[in-house]
Amino acid sequence: MLATVDRGLPVDTLTPNSDEQLNDKLIEAITKKDTSIFKQLVPQLGDPNTSIPFEFDAKTLSSPLLHIACYLGFSEGVEYLCNLGADVNIQLADYDNYSPIHFACMAGELNAVLFLIAKGINVMPKTRSHGDTPLHIAAKKGHLDIVNELTRHPILVNIVDNEHVSPLYRACELGNEDCAVALLRAGAKTQSATQDTTLTPVYVAINKGHFSIALKLLYWIPDENQFEPEIEGKALEQPSIEALLISKLCRCEDMQALKSLVRLRPRSIDSDYEGIYPLMVALLHQQMKVYQYLIDSGAELNIMDTKRASLLHYACAFGTLAQIQFLISKGLRVDAHDTTRKVPMFSLVNNPRVSSVQIEDLEKTVSSLLPKRLFIDLLFDHKAHTPFHLAALQGELNLVKAMLPHIRNIDHRGLLEDNVTASAIEIAAGKAHVDIVEFLISKGANPFLQVSIGTPTALHVFLCCFDKSVSFDDFKKLVELLSNDISINALDSEGCSPLSKALRNQYIQEKHLQFLFERGAQVSYRITQQILEGYVLHSDLDRIKFLLNHRDKHGNSIDGIKLLKIALSVGNHTIVRHLFTLPFIQKQVRSNDCKELIVLACINDDVKVFNTVLQKTGISVNTLIDSQISVFFYALVNGKVKIAAKILETQQANPLAKTRRIHAFHVIAEFDYSELCQQLLNMGISPMVQDEHGGSPLSYAISFEKTDVFELLLQHSPKLAELPDKEKRLPLHQAVEQRRMFHISCLAKTFPEGIFMLDKYNRCPYQIAVDRGDTKIKGLLDEHIPPLPSPSVETII
């Protein structure tokens, strides 16, 4: 009920017509923070604890006015409701058990918080899902004045939520530095860790990138050696705070934070995080200002990471030549091996700066990195790679030039993957580094070299590794550089010439192949068959035509029948048809038994392919594939319905098989090929046929529980129901014995006299059902028993 008052204000404001209008006016007054209107409307509710509908985060809930006023930050309204006696400790069950002070802290309304505390509100209520207290919410939202007020209650400072997270942790996590400092001053524990991640506030501040907060926390941690994170008093293992923080700072250019950390904790510059030191991190992330600052601050240079890589390894991989020279001058060992047996010079191969520096400076650095009395081609890692070969692999021309004076043999073969050896020019050719290939040849490298019989040449490697990123101009240039009259047709251990490698490469186009032919390239005899088989398998007709056009004179060395078999197995009619046009294949077809081709032609049930093979081989559809079954029956038995139908269209097929005198109708009934059945019937072929045991097509349909063909045959030839087998059994006998209800019904209806006809063993279908006690079949037969004839007058007399 609405209580009405009259204070000289408009009627629609003072006396809403319904509860809904009053609720809307109250929400509007709270939203606009209109204290005057609010004070005039509240008494109309009667009770200040009355709940009204309100939308919290897109969810409409029934809530007391005090919660709504706190949620919307209406401090004057909160004070007024508190003075009217509103219950300050009601928790909103439908909104995660939020109390008014939760909402006030969320809105950042200090006055509302003060009013609530003055009225005796519980300052420690927790939400249902996460267990957040008002101080957690204030710390997360960054409301410093509320944090300062709530920390007057010491019990709140280190209270934890359901995840064992303290207010200090939340402030650090969200980067609220002032709140974090206020909590520290109030006595917040810095070592309180979360239940799941076991991270303390300082660690979460570092991981979230709030470095200034992390530094503030370090001031409150007097000595890291005395600092042990804990959960409920249980100590936990944690990585070094200093190591983690300086590792993060070395990845960015926050020089102010870095300098503050080093001043606060000087030893941090030599602390390793997960086995990597700050100097290494700075190089790894290309923070050269940070790197130089650490050097100037006296950071230790003689360090190694967990893989035993030294600072010189890192400088060679990520630093400048000046930094590398500086470390060498400080006595760092150039022969130090990491766990993969790489000396620092190996790391130089991956340095992006080497391609843009002056060659003279790079030569000086390479010379400095070379251990005394050693050549570069004598430096091996655990895979037997050398820096020179890796430089050729990466395409670093400058580095190849700088290393060449320190190579004993320019054609030295390094070990690559899978125990394969290759020279620098072969490696460069495989990666299509034209500039390196040209340079090495100009310096005396032999591009045609075969160390032993069967060793691939640089041209083999190039054509094998060629991909679409290589331009046609570069292709021609490399072929010209890497080939002569002998090497253009050199054979590797597989008997492959360079052209054979090219033909196997999917990225090689006809223009590439044509250029190789113009250079005198040939396909080796033993490889042609393999390549053609691959092209046929992948239906690459253009490659097949191209290769055969250039190999026509060697057609007799190609097994055309095998190519046809592969083409038929994938069912590509275009390739099959093309292969049959080739004279050498036509000759092979005429001189071979091609029954297997017919079998393969049936596999995909492709009529075009089948007709082509049938026509080109001259085989009849009645030809026996083996001693017992014809082409037609092979297609029929193997379910190749399209081919069988096509054969029937020619009206050349013999529908009777020699084996067991099986007729086409028998197979059709067994597999329920209704369309083929209709096709045979349309051709005038009678289904009144029996196999060697006297079985009719109906018998087959009954045995295999087929209904479509059964119904079609019975409708076309009802006499089939009267056709007994050699044991004088009708189809009805068989249907009853096998309990085929559909077939029994059709047969009894078509030939009811058969219900009582006796077989060889003097049994009728009705007697079989009775003997078995099968009441269901007996009832079905009873429905079709023919009526007895009416007696004549003479019979009655």
Give the pLDDT score at 8.
40
Q: Is the pLDDT of residue 114 over 90?
A: yes
- What pLDDT was estimated at residue 2? 34
Q: Are 168 and 184 in contact (CB under 8 A)?
A: yes
Structure tokens, 762: 């003097």
Token look-up 């029948």 returns: 561
Number of Cβ within a 10 Å radius of residue 741? 12
Which one, of 547, 523, 526, lies nearest residue 535 by Cα? 547
More confident residue, 346 or 9: 346
| Count of structural domains within the chain | 1
pLDDT beyond 60 at 797: no
**Phi, psi dihedral angles at 276 (to 5 degrees):** -120, 130
> 3-state DSSP: the chain helix, strand, coil percent, rounded to 5?
55, 5, 40
Task: Report how far residue 7's alpha carbon sits from residue 18's, in angstroms, rounded to the nearest whole number.
Answer: 19
> Does 759 fall in a domain?
yes
Give the mean model confidence (pLDDT) for residues 109-120: 93
Give the pTM. Answer: 0.65
User: What pLDDT is recorded for position 159?
Assistant: 92
Q: Is there a domain that residue 318 lies in?
A: no
Tell me the three state secondary structure of residue 629: coil
> What tokens appear for 319 in the block?
């630093």
- Phi and psi torsions of 656, nearest 5°: -110, 125
Asked if residues 194 and 163 have their Cβ atoms less than 8 Å apart, the reply is yes
For 13-35, write each residue's pLDDT tens digit: 556 667 888 989 999 999 999 99
Q: What residues make up the domain containing 754?
A: 724-796
CB atoms under 10 Å from CB of 185, counted, come to 12
The residue with greater pLDDT, 449 or 708, is 708
pLDDT of residue 3 exceeding 70:
no
What pLDDT is recorded for position 658? 54
How many angstroms separate the CA atoms of 601 and 510, rounded?
31
Asked, for residue 596, whether it belongs to a domain, the answer is no
Share of the chain above pLDDT 70, in %: 89
- What is the per-residue pLDDT across 696-741, written as a single tens digit (0 to 9) for each? 999 999 999 999 999 999 999 999 999 999 999 999 999 999 999 9
pLDDT for 743: 93
Q: What tens digit of pLDDT does each residue of 129-139 get? A: 999 999 999 99
Please give the helix or strand (H or E) that residue 55 lies within, else none. strand 51-56
**Mean pLDDT along residues 411-439:** 85
Judged against a pLDDT cut of 70, whether residue 7 lies above it is answered with: no
The structure tokens listed for 356 are: 């843009």
Contact 192, 202 (CB under 8 A): no
pLDDT score of 332 more than 70: yes
Judge whether 14 lies within some domain. no
Which residues make beta-bridge pairs with 63? 52
Contact (CB, 8 A) for 403 and 389: no
Q: What angle do CA 497, 501, 506 make, to 5 degrees?
A: 155
Ranges of H-type helices in 84-131: 100-107, 110-118
pLDDT for 224: 47
- At residue 239, the pLDDT reads 61
How much is the pLDDT for 4?
33
Q: pLDDT digit string (tens) for 189-247?
A: 887 666 555 678 988 999 899 999 999 988 887 654 444 445 444 444 556 788 889 99
Render pLDDT for 259-315 as a digit per residue (tens, 0 to 9). Answer: 999 998 898 899 888 889 999 999 999 999 999 999 999 999 999 999 999 999 999
Say whether pLDDT at 651 is over 80: no
Q: b/e string for 384-397 if b means 16 or more Cβ within 10 A?
A: ebbbbbbbbbbbbb
Predicted pLDDT of residue 478: 95
Q: What number is the average pLDDT over the span 479-484?
A: 93
Mean pLDDT on 502-520: 88
Q: Strand, coil or helix: what is 357? A: coil
Mean pLDDT over 503-514 rounds to 87
- The answer for residues whose C-beta is within 8 angstroms of residue 380's C-beta and 6 or more apart is 341, 386, 415
- C-alpha 549/C-alpha 400 separation (Å) is 43
Distance CA 87, CA 121 (A): 9
Q: What is d(CA 627, CA 571) in angstroms, rounded to the nearest whole number?
A: 26
Predicted local confidence at residue 701, as pLDDT: 92
Strand segments (E) across 318-393? none
**Can you give the CATH number for the domain in which 772 is found?**
1.25.40.20
Of 79-83, 393-397, 525-529, 787-791, the one with minimum mean pLDDT is 787-791
Q: What is the pLDDT of residue 176?
A: 95
As a whole number, the mean pLDDT across the chain is 85
At 36-78, the pLDDT tens digits run 999 999 888 888 888 889 988 778 889 999 999 999 999 999 9
DSSP string for residues in 183-221: HHHTT--TTB--TTT---HHHHHHHTT-HHHHHHHHHT-
Distance CA 148, CA 176 (A): 13
pLDDT at 796: 41
Whole-angstrom Cα distance, residue 550 to residue 532?
A: 12
767: in domain: yes
CA atoms within 13 A on the CB side of 20: 0
**Is residue 428 predicted with pLDDT exceeding 70?**
yes
Query: pLDDT at position 75, please?
Result: 93
Q: Please report, for residues 592, 640, 726, the alpha-carbon distance to residue 721 in angstroms, rounded to integers and kept in the order given.
A: 48, 29, 15
Cα→Cα distances 484→64, 451, 497, 506, 520, Å: 95, 16, 13, 24, 9
pLDDT at 782 over 50: yes
Query: What's the token pair of residue 23?
Result: 């609720």
Confidence of residue 594 (pLDDT cuts 50, 70, 90): confident
Domain assignment present for 735:
yes
How far is residue 121's CA from residue 98's CA, in Å, rounded to a whole number?
Answer: 13
Residue 762 located in a structural domain: yes
In DSSP notation, 723-791 reads ---TT---HHHHHHHTT-HHHHHHHHHH-GGGGG---TTS--HHHHHHHTT-HHHHHHHHTTPPPPPPP
Phi-psi region of 326 (alpha: psi -120 to 50; beta: other; left: phi over 0): alpha
Whether residue 621 is contained in a domain is answered as no
Q: What percent of the chain has pLDDT over 90?
A: 48
pLDDT at 565: 86
pLDDT value of position 623: 75
